[in-house]
Structure 1
Amino acid sequence: MNRDIVNIKGTKQGLVICLSATHEFDELKKTLKTKIESSRGFFRGAKFTFHLDHDSLPAERTKELEEICCEHGLVPDTEIKWPSANKTPFPSGRPIKVPESEREKAMSANVRPLMREASPSLPSAGVAEADKRPCLLVNRSLRSGQKVNFNGNVVVLGDVNPGSEITANGDIVVLGSLRGVVHAGADGSQESTIMAYRLNPVQLRIGPAISRPPENNPVSPFPEIARLQNGQMYIEPYMTHGLKR
Structure 2
Amino acid sequence: MNGKNQIVSIKGTRDGLTLHLDDECTFEAILGELKKKLAFNGLNEEQPLIRLTIHLGRRYLDHEQKETLKSLIREKQNLVVENIESEVISKQEALEWKENTDINPLVKTVRSGQVIDIRGDLLLIGDVNPGGKVSATGNIYVLGSLRGIAHAGVQGDQGAVIIASYMQPNQLRIADQMSRAPDYESEGVYMECGCIDETGKIRIEPLQEIIKKRPDLASFERRMLNG
TM-score, normalised on structure 1? 0.44
Q: Compare the two structures and name the one with the higher strand fraction.
A: 2
Structure with greater Cα Rg: 2
User: Higher relative contact order by CA 8 Å / sep ≥ 6: 1 or 2?
Assistant: 1
Q: Compare the two structures and name the one with the higher helix fraction.
A: 2
